Amino acid sequence: MKATVLHKSFSLFLAFLVLFSTFSFTVEKHYCGNHLVDTAIFSQAKKCGGIGAEDISYVKKPCCKDIVVIIEGQDELTVKDFQSIEKDTYTTLVSYVLSYTFLFETVAKPIIPHKYYKPPKIIKDIHVLDETYLI
């Protein structure tokens, strides 16, 4: 029971690991001066109160700046088939599997010679009749 729960949780963890390693997304931050105004994931960040740096024409240096961080996931997953394994790895794998399978040998079923023996019916208590008691 405990092993199956552990096995299922570990499998779920590995599935999420593969999912998130191939997952890519963009984080966009908008600063007005030195203050962070908005942070957005998967979309564009809101500008300073609806007025962007391009709308302010009378300021020589715009006070706003956008920082875009792109986190790219893995494009391809490498899947190895059994034929592409090197000879040393193949030998190690086969020896491990064979040693593990022959580690647990089945025990022969014991032979019980008196399995179908039926004792005689007790009619009288012989110990009481002979007055022999164990102390």
Task: State residue 87's pLDDT score.
Answer: 81
Task: State residue 60's pLDDT score.
Answer: 40
Residue 11 in this model has a pLDDT that exceeds 80: yes
DSSP codes joined into one string, 46-104: P-BTTB-TTT--S-SS-SEEEEEEEE---S------GGGS-HHHHHHHHHHHHHHHTTS
Residue 130 in this model has a pLDDT that exceeds 80: yes
**Phi, psi dihedral angles at 5 (to 5 degrees):** -65, -40
Please give the model's pTM, rounded to 2 decimal places.
0.40
pLDDT tens digits for 31-84? 887 888 888 887 888 877 555 445 544 444 567 888 888 888 877 777 777 677
